[in-house]
């Protein structure tokens, strides 16, 4: 019963695409959140994961998936147009791409980044070593990624 | 390195079997379809996580069982390592090193190193280019385990790009939509991932060539000059990732029309070739079957040496049904090369087919319907 009810009540936020019982979700309505920063994720679960950190105070945009021709998902199947409209019409100062570094994630990141660049500063999250992880125990893929994303010492 | 023991449970035709390897050479003797190659396949799995005979885990599980286990105790210069792998009828396989289960299977690669030489390899020179690419990829994964990831990324981009090309082909009747910019995106990904594959493959061949050349001269007893070249369908004048990616994109542009009509990716390392030439003549046309076998043997010995150089200790050598196919001269060349330095597992249907030197001091196991019997040494 509870599950049926949940399914009936929960829909998607008309602004960011996150799961929401209201037409506009809590995060989009929150007045104290910074609407000049938008974090772009593939899925609502990513919003929940990022929210748990309580470090991010901006808004979100949920794409609803990743570009994957094998699954018949092209840019039109994702909420990319809405995102471009949002970024071009509002005063967004930074768009942060927080998408996992798989082949599909990488392609989606490039595609979205390219579209947003004319309107705002576009950044992507770093991939690297987990906290508390020793360098010698890191796997090669992670190490290679961390090397790729190295930066100047401040 | 030395594989001290191998443990099989519900694997292929083995119910439960433990094997202690007690000599540098182990000869597995038995009739066909008794399970000799299955043992080597188990070692191959522990080394590469792959079997050259099947890509489905359920083929590896004894009929009527839900799971199968393969394990082994490996002695290396750095210490003793316990390898373990569980294959399931339904579900993912799991791997563990020293009883610690690994989250990422990639981390298992590169622990047990080996060179495989089976009767199938005798066709390496004559066979199709895909055989040579597979051979090269398997060698690379042992030397640079991260290459498994590089290759997997490339194959995934390739699958996605092919799906998109097919979709564009189907919708050709409709007015064009955003697909051309979407395709450009996959072109870029293909060029990045593909350039990595090409550069690593070319680099490993360059390192292999000196060893292969010297072995080839030793075995053939001639001064013929062997050349091995990675013949990519994408080449750049300058040897930098950027130059190669640029050349890659240009080549995609050139082939865009045929790609559109065929609905599949025509440019990239999945269509590359490895060229063997002897005195400037392509080896596949050049030699008799015997000469081509000499070349394959030289390549295998070069692999042993290269892996030993890079890893710092000798890898295992698996000879599956191949020794009897080599004449006495080549058998002896092989024996001289490996001596007792490389642990060698050999399968054969009968002992009579090879020189007595091989049998001296070897451990001989008889394989019969999924069980092993230790035989007296000669």
Closest-CA distance, B176 to chain A, in angstroms, reads 13
Q: Is residue B36 annotated as involved in ligand binding?
A: yes
Are the C-beta atoms of B166 and B186 separated by less than 8 Å?
Answer: no
Report CA-CA distances (Å) from A138 to A109, A145, B79, B108, B345: 25, 11, 20, 13, 34
- Give the separation between CA B329 and CA B253, rounded to whole angstroms: 52
The domains found in chain B, sorted by start residue, are 1-113+315-378 (3.40.50.300), 125-311 (1.20.1050.90)
Mean pLDDT of the region A37-66? 96
What residues in B contact A76, CB-CB < 8 Å?
177-178
What is the architecture, at CATH level 2, of domain A2-148? 3-Layer(aba) Sandwich (3.40)
Contact call for A110 and B157, based on CB within 8 A: no
Of residues B128 and A137, more confidence is placed in: B128
Is there a binding annotation on residue B32?
yes
Residue B37, annotated as binding a ligand: yes
* Chain A: residue whose CA lies nearest to B148: A141
A60-89 residues touching B, CB cutoff 8 A: 67-70, 72, 74-76
Cβ within 8 Å of residue B82, ≥6 positions away? B71, B72, B73, B74, B96, B97, B98, B99
The angle, 0 to 180 degrees and rounded to 10, between the axes of the packed helices B179-220 and B241-254 is: 120
HSE, CB side, 13 Å, CA atoms: give it for residue A48. Answer: 5
Nearest-CB residue to A106 (from B159, B163, B189): B189
Query: At B31, is the secondary structure helix, strand, or coil?
Result: coil
Instruction: Dump pLDDT digits (tens) for B89-129.
Output: 988 899 999 999 998 888 899 999 999 999 888 889 989 99
pLDDT of residue B172: 67
> Per residue in B265-290, pLDDT tens?
999 999 999 999 988 889 888 778 88
CA gap A4, A2 in Å, rounded? 5
| Chain B: residue whose CA lies nearest to A113 | B185
CB nearest to B189's CB, from A75, A107, A144: A107
- Residues in a beta bridge with B95: B85
Which among A72, A74, A140 has the least Cβ separation from residue B182? A74
Nearest to B186 among A72, A102, A107 (CB): A107
CA-to-CA separations, B314 to A95, B90, B206, B217, B257, in angstroms, rounded = 52, 36, 20, 22, 49
* ipTM attached to this prediction: 0.84
pLDDT of residue B340: 85
B209-247 confidence digits (pLDDT tens): 999 999 999 988 888 889 999 999 999 999 899 999 999
Contact across the interface for B189 and A110, Cβ inside 8 Å: yes
């Amino acid at each position: 019963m509870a599950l049926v009810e949940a399914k009936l009540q929960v829909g998607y936020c008309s602004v960011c695409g996150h799961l929401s019982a209201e037409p506009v979700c809590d995060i989009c309505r929150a007045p104290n959140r910074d609407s000049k920063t938008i974090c772009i994720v593939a899925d609502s679960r990513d919003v929940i994961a990022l929210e748990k950190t309580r470090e991010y105070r901006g808004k979100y945009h949920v794409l609803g998936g990743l570009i994957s021709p094998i699954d018949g998902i092209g840019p039109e199947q994702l909420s990319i147009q809405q995102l471009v409209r949002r970024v071009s019409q509002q005063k967004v100062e930074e768009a942060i791409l927080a998408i996992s570094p798989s082949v599909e994630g990488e392609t989606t990141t490039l595609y979205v980044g390219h579209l947003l660049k004319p309107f705002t500063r576009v950044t992507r999250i770093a991939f690297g070593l987990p906290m508390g992880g020793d360098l010698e125990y890191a796997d090669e893929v992670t190490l290679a990624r961390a090397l790729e994303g190295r930066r100047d010492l401040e | 390195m030395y594989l001290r023991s191998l443990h099989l449970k519900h694997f292929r035709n083995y119910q439960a079997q433990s094997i202690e390897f007690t000599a540098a050479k182990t000869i597995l003797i038995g009739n066909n379809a008794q399970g000799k190659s299955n043992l080597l396949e188990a070692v191959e799995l522990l080394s590469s996580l792959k079997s050259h005979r099947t890509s489905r885990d359920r083929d590896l599980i004894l009929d009527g069982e839900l799971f199968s286990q393969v394990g082994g105790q490996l002695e290396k210069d750095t210490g003793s390592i316990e390898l373990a792998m569980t294959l399931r009828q339904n579900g993912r396989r799991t791997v563990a090193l020293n009883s610690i289960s690994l989250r990422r299977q990639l981390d298992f690669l590169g622990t047990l190193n080996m060179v495989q030489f089976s009767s199938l390899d005798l066709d390496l020179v004559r066979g199709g280019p895909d055989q040579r690419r597979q051979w090269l990829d398997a060698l690379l994964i042992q030397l640079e385990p991260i290459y498994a990831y590089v290759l997997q990324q490339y194959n995934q981009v390739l699958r996605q790009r092919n799906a998109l090309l097919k979709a564009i082909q189907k919708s050709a009747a409709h007015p064009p939509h955003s697909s051309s910019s979407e395709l450009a995106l996959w072109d870029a990904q293909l060029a990045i991932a593909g350039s990595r594959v090409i550069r690593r493959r070319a680099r490993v061949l360059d390192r292999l060539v000196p060893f292969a050349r010297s072995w080839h001269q030793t075995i053939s007893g001639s001064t013929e000059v062997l050349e091995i070249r990675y013949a990519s369908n994408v080449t750049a004048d300058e040897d930098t990732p950027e130059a190669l990616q640029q050349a890659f994109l240009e080549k995609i542009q050139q082939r865009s029309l045929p790609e559109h009509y065929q609905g599949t990716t025509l440019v990239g390392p999945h269509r590359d070739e490895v060229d063997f030439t002897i005195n400037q003549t392509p080896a596949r046309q050049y030699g008799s079957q015997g000469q081509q076998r000499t070349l394959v043997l030289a390549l295998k010995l070069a692999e042993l040496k290269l892996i030993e150089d890079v890893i710092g200790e000798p890898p295992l050598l698996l000879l599956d049904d191949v020794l009897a196919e080599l004449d006495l001269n080549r058998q002896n060349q092989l024996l001289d090369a490996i001596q007792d330095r490389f642990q060698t597992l050999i399968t054969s249907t009968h002992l009579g087919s090879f020189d007595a030197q091989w049998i001296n001091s070897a451990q001989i196991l008889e394989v019969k319907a999924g069980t092993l019997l230790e035989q007296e040494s000669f």
